Amino acid sequence: MTQQIIAIRKQIEDERTGAMSDYHVATRYYVDESVNYMEVGFATYVSEALYKQGRDPVSGLSITLKMSALPPRGADVKNWLYQAAVAPQGREEGPHEADIHHRGLVHDDGVHP
């Protein structure tokens, strides 16, 4: 069975408020197969511990990744999204362009490659 990727760990500072976030969870995605377009939104949290405690994400700091690619049929979509988010060729729009592109994937077993 494939390991499930559950988050990305990367410290990001909100330029407007100075708030730091370290844990990013894919919360929504949109696919338009007719034009080969996909968009994924991440909620950002101060830390993994606060996320697990059920705290709210940092307000005003969200990351949207827009891609002109789709996961292959039958792929685990969430794993594919997380892997695409950390791939160097990924493109991100928003206040922290390219900040999420790193190898900080968090698996459900707590392993961080």
- pLDDT tens per residue, range 18-46: 888 999 999 999 989 899 888 888 999 99
Distance CA 59, CA 21 (A): 11
- Taking the complete model, does pTM exceed 0.95, yes or no? no
Retrieve residue 50's tokens. 């606060």
> Is 48:72 a contact under the CB 8 Å cutoff?
no
Residue 111 has pLDDT above 50, yes or no: no
Dist. CA 39–CA 90, nearest whole Å = 11
Average pLDDT across the chain, whole number: 78
Return the pLDDT at 54: 95
